[in-house]
Amino acid sequence: MDNLPSACPKTPEFLYTMTIDDLDARLIALLHAEPRLGVLECSRRLGVARGTVQARLDRLLARGVITGFGPDVSPAALGYTVTAFVTLEIRQEAGHDPVSHGLARIPEVLEVHTITGGSDLLCRVVARTNADLQRVIDQIVDVRGVRRTSSVIALDTPVPYRVLPLVEDVPRHGGQQYVRSP
Amino acid sequence: MDNLPSACPKTPEFLYTMTIDDLDARLIALLHAEPRLGVLECSRRLGVARGTVQARLDRLLARGVITGFGPDVSPAALGYTVTAFVTLEIRQEAGHDPVSHGLARIPEVLEVHTITGGSDLLCRVVARTNADLQRVIDQIVDVRGVRRTSSVIALDTPVPYRVLPLVEDVPRHGGQQYVRSP
DNA sequence: TGAATCAATGGACAATCTGCCCAGTGCCTG
DNA sequence: CAGGCACTGGGCAGATTGTCCATTGATTCA
């Protein structure tokens, strides 16, 4: 538990809440690899009882560790092959909210964060081509409260979004090893 | 199909490849809302035959529009409540590859892009606290080939990652309306 | 025009899985 | 030492899956 914040209580209750088990991690990894697997098949692969898998899944869902089960859609497969990160400067008087709300109305805006540093908002957008990106950026600039934007285009994505390494890392640091009952 | 690149053939074959149908979109939206739904239940909700749903799903998977079915894990629920975007400047001599490879070995690095503009790489990282973020950034700096980094912290995420609006937008622009056979 | 192709329907089948129940067992805690 | 908890292993009815089939429109093409 070397990377747990020092403020953390480190009681069993806390570990229960904030970390996952070796078995949890293996379950997530398994579902990640073969997502349409049923509970029964999972239990076979993991070598535990079906009820255990069911309970673990329920708990992971209840705790919000697993928030859902896709489907994961690839914008690129829909023709949106250009990804860009656009940072926005906004007129602070109005506040972030109306701006985010306006951005949310643009389908090509996939994600919006408020950020520290020189700019106010960072968003991830996709477009069909570079020319199409211009159209999207124009829409962003048109959002009321946006003062100026600055974009960088993602040329390549050597590491696509992933959580698995994190998941597999947690049990080693904060969690317990799962030991099968006799 | 107003936002299709002008270079696109716009033949039926092209539309088949690069766009989706109204029914496809509704299917994705439905699965998105209730991911553990079975094929049969989907067919009931959408008012089509089971085989149709099955075929559509197979096709969406084969075409890569749907790349998988989660599980979606929330780093925050695992205690990784801090998200940051780190831009890297690298020593160009070595190239991007060794650096991305090194970054990929850090579990807290969730995503890496090569980008245009003043920097070379943009990555999304998570950490347990701001202090823990320092630890992660230190690991990043230690990657061979990294010259310097610059980070912004995501304070809030008014629009979390989403694809649904895009999916629902495609049929209106590039696709056909699905018309149920008698 | 006629043949071929393709997507969708609606129905059927056995095999499987799900949700739910139960009793028993080991472990930890108060 | 009792109680709570997680896990096991089993059993049950009902639903779902994967996989067939023949049929019907719509579209393509020679």
State the DSSP string of B41-86: HHHHHHTS-HHHHHHHHHHHHHHTSEEE--PEE-GGGGT--EEEEE
pLDDT digits (tens, 9 = 90+) for A101-147: 999 999 999 999 999 999 999 999 999 999 999 999 999 999 999 99
pLDDT at A177: 55
pLDDT at A94 (0 to 100): 82
Identity at B128, one-letter amino acid code: R
**Residue B17 confidence (pLDDT):** 59
Strand partners, B149: B88
Which ranges of chain B have pLDDT less than 70? Answer: 1-18, 174-182
Q: Are B69 and B35 in contact (CB under 8 A)?
A: yes
Question: Which pLDDT value is given to residue B175?
Answer: 52
Both structure tokens of B14:
């092209």
pLDDT of residue B10: 46
Task: Name the strand (E) or helix (H) holding A82.
Answer: strand A82-90
Q: What is the pLDDT of residue B85?
A: 98
| Angstrom distance (rounded) from CA A51 to CA A57 | 10
Higher pLDDT residue, A177 or A106? A106
> pTM of the prediction?
0.88
B contacts of A64 (beta carbons < 8 Å):
74, 76-77
**Count of C-beta atoms within a 10 Å radius of residue B107:** 23
| pLDDT tops 70 at residue A21 | yes
Residue A110, Cβ neighbours under 10 Å: how many? 21
Tell me the pLDDT band of A174, cut-offs 50, 70 and 90: low
Identity of residue B118: G
**C-alpha span between B52 and B46 (Å, rounded):** 10
- Residues recorded for chain B: 182
Helical axes A164-173 vs A22-33, angle rounded to 10°: 170
**Segment holding B1, helix H or strand E:** none
3-state secondary structure of B159: strand
Which nucleotide's C1' is closest to B40 (Cα)? Answer: D16
Is the pLDDT score of A8 beyond 90?
no
Residue B152's beta-bridge partner residues?
B85
Q: Strand D: list protein residues with Cβ under 7 Å.
A: A 23, 36, 47-52, 55-56, 178, 180-181; B 12, 38-41, 50-51, 54, 181-182
A165 contacts: CB under 8 Å, gap ≥ 6: B106, B107
Rg (CA), chain B: 21
Cβ neighbours of residue B101 closer than 8 Å, sequence gap 6 or more: A158
pLDDT at A36: 82
Higher pLDDT, A176 or B92: B92
> In order of start, what are the domains of chain B with their CATH numbers?
12-70 (1.10.10.10), 75-154 (3.30.70.920)
CB contact under 8 A, B113 and A156: yes
Give residue B70's pLDDT. 84
Give residue A19's pLDDT. Answer: 82
Q: What is the pLDDT of residue A35?
A: 87
Alpha carbon dihedral A149, A152, A158, A159, in 10-degree steps, equals -10
Residue B174: what pLDDT?
59
* Residues, chain A: 182
